[in-house]
């Protein structure tokens, strides 16, 4: 039992190696840079060859950065890729951040737009968590952080596959936590609200819709990717060792209203 004389757990990530998917831009980039500043080394994954800039920032902070290119939508090659990647790198923290979104009215929503989103947002996240989790269990511990969404709780508009995938990711987070919490592996999720990234560019370009969304956020503004990085440090650190199966909402109060 911890006594009052023992120091509180810190938020440092010194000596840890983190794999961040979708690391080149947006939320993934912000988390990778924040982890580097907190002392972690990084394995940066993107479907495109666009990781040089974030790798340079990570390295300037004194961290190591391995850049890996792979399209997580590649269902045929994904399992082998994931196993080989995790054989090459001892991952202490996995951040399942990579994701897709497609927008259209549900009555005309295309099959490809349904399957493509589910493939990356749900199937790929499970394959990565399964492989990383197995190795973490063998080593006696680790942290898995899934990037969910406020649409893990709501239905949204014109994004049926995205909403379904994020509901599934919340369920997966809880299911894995039930199995692994007692064996040293923490599985949690962050549910961002509306964030200024490429994913929301279409919404922000629609001035009327952008104003409607902003008016409903008690904080009075959209999040920046940096707003998600702090919670990601917490969940990856020893400060969150007793946090399991939690969906941490970071939405400026959106769900409160």
Active site residue 194: no
Residue 158 token pair: 């014109």
Pairwise CA distance, residues 245 & 242, whole Å: 10
DSSP 95-152: EE---------GGG--HHHHHHHHIIIIIIHHHHHHHHHHHHHHHT-EEEEEE--GGG
Helix 111-118 to helix 160-180 angle, to the nearest 10 degrees?
20
Q: Which two tokens stand for residue 49?
A: 């060859």
Question: Which residue, 17, 27, 29, 71, is CA-closest to 191?
Answer: 27
Catalytic residue among 115, 162, 194, 242: 162
Say which residue the tokens 């040293």 belong to: 184
**Residue pair 217/252 in contact by the 8 Å Cβ criterion:** yes
Q: In whole angstroms, how far apart are CA 170 and each of 132, 152, 254?
A: 18, 6, 18
* Number of Cβ atoms within 10 Å of the Cβ of 201: 10
The answer to whether 103 and 158 are in contact (CB under 8 A) is yes
Task: State the catalytic residues.
Answer: 162
């Amino acid at each position: 039992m911890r006594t009052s004389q023992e120091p509180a757990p810190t938020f440092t990530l010194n000596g840890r190696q983190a794999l961040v998917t979708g690391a080149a831009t947006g939320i993934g980039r912000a988390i990778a840079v924040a982890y580097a500043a907190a002392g972690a080394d990084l394995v940066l994954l993107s479907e495109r060859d666009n990781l040089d800039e974030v790798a340079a920032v990570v390295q300037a902070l004194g961290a190591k950065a391995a850049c890996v290119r792979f399209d997580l939508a590649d269902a045929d090659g994904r399992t082998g890729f994931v196993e080989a990647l995790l054989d090459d790198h001892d991952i202490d923290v996995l951040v399942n951040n990579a994701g897709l979104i497609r927008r259209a009215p549900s009555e005309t929503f295309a099959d490809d737009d349904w399957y493509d989103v589910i493939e990356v947002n749900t199937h790929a996240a499970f394959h990565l968590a399964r492989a990383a989790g197995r190795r973490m269990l063998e080593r006696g511990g680790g942290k898995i952080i899934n990037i969910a969404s406020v649409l893990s709780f709501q239905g949204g508009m014109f994004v049926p596959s995205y909403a379904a995938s994020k509901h599934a990711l919340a369920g997966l987070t809880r299911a894995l936590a039930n199995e692994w919490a007692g064996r040293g592996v923490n599985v949690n999720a962050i549910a961002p609200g509306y964030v200024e990234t490429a994913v929301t560019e279409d919404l922000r370009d629609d001035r009327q819709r952008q104003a409607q969304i902003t008016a409903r956020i008690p904080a009075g503004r959209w999040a920046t990717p940096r707003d998600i990085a702090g919670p990601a440090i917490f969940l990856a650190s020893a400060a969150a060792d007793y946090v399991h199966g939690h969906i941490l909402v970071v939405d400026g109060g959106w769900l409160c209203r």
